[in-house]
Amino acid sequence: MAVPSHDVLTAGFPCQPFSKSGFQRGMSETRGTLFWNICRVLEERKPGVVLLENVRNLAGPRHTETWATIVGSLRDLGYKVSSVPTVFSPHLLPPTMGGRPQIRDRVFITATRVGRKRALAEVEDEALVPYRPIEGWDPSLWNLASDLPLEQDESVTGPYALSDTERLWIEVWEDFIQSVRPRIPGGKLPGFPIWADSFLDVPEIDETTPAWKADFLQKNSEFYLEHRWVINQWLHRHDWLSAFPPSRRKLEWQAQETPGLWDAVIHFRPSGIRAKKPTYVPALVAITQTSVVGALGRRITPREAARLQGLPDWFDFGSQQDSSTYRQLGNGVNVGAAYFIMRQHVLENLEDVEVVSSGLVEAVSRSSANPDAALQLVPLSVQLERSA
């Protein structure tokens, strides 16, 4: 086997077979079977500790058999592993522990080699860590501008700036928000998707309409009837949104008390224009929908996306196209979350880990709770390259 001996095996086997953005065929899809390659490495090299990562949907209801297969296979190979998935996100970690303002729920599977007999007998049924903020951290305190931080230099705007068409979409919906909001008690905009095409006296619902859609259609109709006068004026001002594609005639307001779209983090999604508070952003994805910072009128840069994943500023992507960098980052694992999970596993299983890797126990025990301290040490190769 070409894989050398090692103490720790980390892997993120392809997530597409389990992702909501795919067909969710799990182990029945070719890429899903790469898990068996991991098992072969474990069988041959017998590393002491395992850290696997995948999308949250891996532990969802559509993949219960797949999850059971993964856990059962690891136990058969002699690894003690919990039957309950550990789901975690970097936005739950404080900045002092490598947290980042990105909600990126991922399933982490941690295991220690204890032998098949113990692995099958000592069945654990608890997650390594609960899905909640760590050490009293309040995720609502994240601030993209200062915590990422965002690059304020106007020179970065160029290729990441919004197009005139995108600015028009935002301006029109901003007008909607500022026109309607003062007439709503408490100024609270609807939490359901706002569909301009469904501003009708009578919602278009029949026996073939799915229940979820009927609910939204009914709510949009009621909202329209309550604010008909101002909504009609808004539609008239903007030619009834006739030049807008269907997905841009929809607004998903998830920004609570944020003053307006230009103050929010925006995503141009197939389901509509989504707005969120400028605290933490949704997960980076390997496709489109790069987060737009309304206050700066641009998308986040590759450097800012790298920071969201916990990568230090000395980390370089070479001369490759931005699209490739965004794709790599969208497929990547957040450094702080992976570091925290790995460190917790070792600290909570010291006796078992000590048997298979005393060096790992020593390294983790002496390590800082914050991975950023080590990441700030620029590698010698990078220093030499910069000085050349």
CA distance 273 to 251: 5
Strand partners, 79: 113
CB 336 within 8 A of CB 310: yes
Question: Which residues neighbour 303 within 8 Å (Cβ) at sequence distance 6 or greater?
Answer: 151, 313
| Two tokens, residue 233 | 């004026």
Active site positions, annotated: 15
- Give the tokens for residue 100: 């980042």
CA distance 273 to 266: 7
